[in-house]
Amino acid sequence: MFRNIGAGKRDLSFRQDRPWEGKMTPFKLFSNVYYVGTYQACCYLIDTGDGLIMIDPGYKNTAYLVVNSVRDLGFNFKDIKYIICTHWHYDHSEATAAFKDLSGATTMIGENDFERAKEYFTADKVIKDGDALTLGNTTIKFMETPGHTKGTISFFFDVKEDGKTYRAGSFGGAGANKLGKNTQEFEGARVAYRNSIARLRKEKVDLFIGNHSWNNGTYEKSIKLLETGENTFLDSTLWQKFLDFCEGRLDNLEKAEAQQG
């Protein structure tokens, strides 16, 4: 279900040397959460009323698309106070240094990804399991969820709309590409990944924020939202379904490897 979300609208075999092919119209996802990323790499803005928080700046070669999206929504880069990277991989963090230069923001990453992230930027602050960041009307709770990388960080925060409070959340690194026999970045990555999923299941999430657009059908949902006004991002069933998918994918990987001997 989740792996192929978006295949009908976009080709998942996109070329990284043609970043414009991943251009998406920026939009208000829900409440104070805005999407300013591309199809290839999710990037979010949270408007706290006292400054902006950016999540995952993305690729260096799509930076101009993110810059345009931020400005098209009427925001100013100088109002970005924090830039948070969910993990060190370049599709999430490569543009961080450029965006810090534009904004003067404080950059943050999980403490166990700090050294690896130096390939792209040196974080001003490290995030530890259980840390929280408060800015304006928003408090983000961080959870270390290793597996995809050693220092992957997931996050949760409350959003309000029409007098109701909802819980937003994201699995900071759900990909299985770093869980193969020869692709794990650290010893025990698979066990850590399963343990991370177990911890994430305890979180109630009404607004599932994808770490990649195909995690939750970001592209398709955005088209529906922009064309009809119907917002399908708010769905409290998607979080557990996605975690089921992630765990099932690892089960299948291990079964396939066992059959190969």
Spell out the per-residue pLDDT of the chain, length 261, in tens. Answer: 333 333 334 454 566 778 888 899 999 999 999 999 999 899 999 999 999 999 999 999 999 999 999 999 999 999 999 999 999 999 999 999 999 999 999 999 999 999 999 999 999 999 999 999 999 999 999 999 999 999 999 999 999 999 999 999 999 999 999 999 899 999 999 999 999 999 999 999 999 999 999 899 999 999 999 999 999 999 999 999 999 999 999 999 999 988 886
* pLDDT at res. 6: 34
Residue 218's nearest CA partner among 204, 238, 203 is 238
Which fold does the domain 19-260 belong to in CATH?
A: Metallo-beta-lactamase; Chain A (3.60.15)
* pLDDT at res. 5: 34
Give me the sheet containing 153-161, strands edge to edge.
Answer: 132-135, 138-144, 153-161, 164-170, 207-208
CA–CA separation, 257 and 241 (whole Å): 24
CA–CA separation, 222 and 230 (whole Å): 9
Distances (CA, A) of 213 to 1, 22, 218, 229: 13, 11, 5, 19
Number of Cα atoms under 13 Å in the Cβ half of residue 33:
28
Count how many residues are written for the chain: 261
Cβ contacts of 85 within 8 Å, gap of 6 or more: 56, 57, 92, 93, 96, 107, 108, 109, 113, 117, 123
* pLDDT at res. 21: 87
* pLDDT at res. 14: 61
Ordered by start, the domain boundaries in the chain are 19-260
For helices 189-200 and 238-260, give the axis angle rounded to 10 degrees. 160
* pLDDT at res. 257: 87
CA–CA separation, 170 and 207 (whole Å): 9
CA–CA separation, 161 and 124 (whole Å): 33
Q: Which two tokens stand for residue 242?
A: 């996605």
Separation of CA 3 from chain center:
15
